[in-house]
Amino acid sequence: MAKRILVVEDNDLNRKLFCDVLKANGFEVAPVGDGATALDTARQLSPDLIIMDIQLPEVSGLDLIEEAKRDLHLRSIPVLAVTAYAAKGDEERIRAAGASGYLAKPISILPFMNAVKELLPD
C-alpha cells in the first residue's frame, strides 16, 4: 500500500510540484492550500508524513507543527518543514518545534525525495 503524504503549501506552483514529484515516486498525496484546515485534514487522513510550509497565511506552519506534536493522534507523524526561512537559527527553531526534517526553498528534487524517504522507512 502506498504511503500517504499530506502536503501543506499555500503556493499553488510549489504545492503542484511537490505533489507531482511525490505521485511520480509512488506516494498517495493529499494537498492542502492553507494552514487553517491542515490539522483537521491530517486527523481525517492519518498520513504517514506531513510536508509543512512554514510561511502560511493566517497561521504559522511552526505553530501547526507544535500543535500537531501536542495532539495524541498526530504526534507520531513525522513532519518535513519546507521553508523560505533559511537564516541562521531557523532550522534549529523549526526542529525544536517538532519538525523531523528541514529543507530550505528553493527545493531541488533529489534532496527533497531523499528527505521524504529518510522520514518514511519501508
What are the structural domain ranges in the chain? 4-119
Pairwise CA distance, residues 119 & 115, whole Å = 6
Residue given cell 484546515 in the structure block: 37
Q: How far apart are CA 86 and CA 104, in angstroms?
A: 6
Please identify, in words, the CATH class of the domain defined by 4-119.
Answer: alpha beta
Of the CA atoms within 13 Å of residue 84, those in its CB half-sphere come to 7
Task: Specify the pLDDT at position 42.
Answer: 98
pLDDT of res. 1: 81
Residue 25 CA, distance from chain mean position: 16
Can you give the pLDDT at residue 121? 74
pLDDT value at residue 84:
87
Instruction: Please report, in angstroms and rounded to a whole number, the separation of the first and last CA atoms in the chain.
Output: 11
Q: What is the pLDDT of residue 18?
A: 97
| pLDDT of the residue at 104 | 92
In sequence order, what are the residues at sequence separation of 6 or more whose Cβ sits closer than 8 angstroms to the Cβ of residue 34? 10, 56, 57, 58
Give φ, ψ of 105 to 5 degrees.
-80, 155
Sheet containing 4-8, strands listed edge to edge, beginning at the edge strand earlier in sequence = 28-32, 4-8, 49-53, 79-83, 101-104
Amino acid at 109: I
Q: Grid coordinates representing 102?
A: 528541514
pLDDT tens over the chain, length 122 residues: 899 999 999 999 999 999 999 999 999 999 999 999 999 999 999 999 999 999 998 899 999 999 999 999 999 999 999 998 777 889 999 999 999 999 999 999 999 999 999 999 77
